[in-house]
Amino acid sequence: MAKFLTNLVLTFSPNDTVGTKYYVSQPFLYQSDVLNRIVTVPSGFPTDLASVPKIPFLYEKFGNKNNYAAVIHDYLYTSGRGVDREHADRVFLEASNLLNPDNKAVNKLMYWAVRVFGASHYQQK
């Protein structure tokens, strides 16, 4: 069954010049049914959390909602750990539904946003 195996612990870096702003402070583990394995985000991994435009009504609805899922998604997009973009996006939806089971419509909209706009951020290795 999909679940977060550890809590997400982040360090904030206000002076980061590349826009990252946060770093995972200790290994962050997620059991994914989509991937049928545990994803381990290592300590020190940089993340910008959910990349939601800072437009007030959009950010109010979608910002700061799925940070745990966003960190897993960022890691899958940038690590090159043998996960194609479609599966990485499906893991994002899976994790979002765990975090916010009563907001499946919002989760689905965020999923479609990464499907439509995420390609330029995906790094296949």
Residue spans of the domains in the chain: they are 3-121
Query: Percent of the chain scored above 90 by pLDDT?
Result: 42
Whether the per-residue pLDDT at 122 is higher than 50: the answer is yes
Whether the per-residue pLDDT at 119 is higher than 90: the answer is no
- The reported pTM is 0.83
d(CA 83, CA 89): 10
Other beta carbons within 10 Å of 7: 9
What's at 69, amino acid-wise?
A
Extract long-range pairs of 120-124: CB within 8 Å, 24+ residues apart: 121/51, 121/77, 121/78, 122/77, 122/85, 122/88, 123/77, 123/78, 123/80, 124/80, 124/84, 124/85
d(CA 97, CA 91): 10
Q: What number is the average pLDDT over the span 69-85?
A: 87
Q: What number is the average pLDDT over the span 55-83?
A: 73
Whether the per-residue pLDDT at 54 is higher than 60: the answer is no
Q: What number is the average pLDDT over the span 56-81?
A: 73
Tokens representing 4 are: 């977060």
